[in-house]
């Protein structure tokens, strides 16, 4: 699993889903027995077909970072203020 993580740095969640589907299809088409095992070789072949939809220098990536800096989970959100209850 760690190897796949290292090889898919700029893959989105959708890219990873497509990669897993492609690897599974490769395993199914190659297997002659009823027992099918998904291996790293299947993922390696799938990586030849499925490419990441983002790159480090992509405008979208920079926009996501900027959005996360402003609105991300780790940011402390101010409590709402109601009239008369400051």
Q: What is the pLDDT of residues 27-83, one digit of tens each?
A: 999 877 778 889 999 999 999 999 998 776 667 777 877 888 888 876 655 666 666
Overall pTM surpassing 0.85 (yes/no): no
- Here the tokens at position 45 are 């072949």
- Which domains are seen in the chain, by residue range? 2-71 (1.10.8.60)
Note the pLDDT of residue 86. 53
Q: What is the pLDDT of residues 11-31, one digit of tens each?
A: 989 999 999 999 999 999 987
Phi, psi of 40 (to 5 degrees): -65, -30
Three-state secondary structure call for residue 85: strand
Phi, psi of 79 (to 5 degrees): -70, 145
Contacts of 29 (CB under 8 A, 6+ apart): none
Report the sign of the C-alpha dihedral through residues 55, 59, 62, 66, in that order: negative
Note the pLDDT of residue 68. 84
């Amino acid at each position: 699993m760690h190897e796949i993580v290292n090889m898919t740095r700029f893959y989105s969640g959708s890219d990873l889903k497509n990669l897993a589907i492609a690897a599974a299809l490769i395993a199914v088409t190659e297997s002659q027995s009823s027992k099918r095992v998904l291996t790293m070789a299947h993922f390696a072949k799938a990586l030849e077909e499925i490419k990441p939809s983002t790159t480090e220098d992509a405008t979208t990536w920079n926009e996501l970072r900027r959005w996360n800096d402003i609105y991300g989970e780790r940011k402390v959100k101010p409590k709402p203020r109601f009239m008369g209850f400051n």
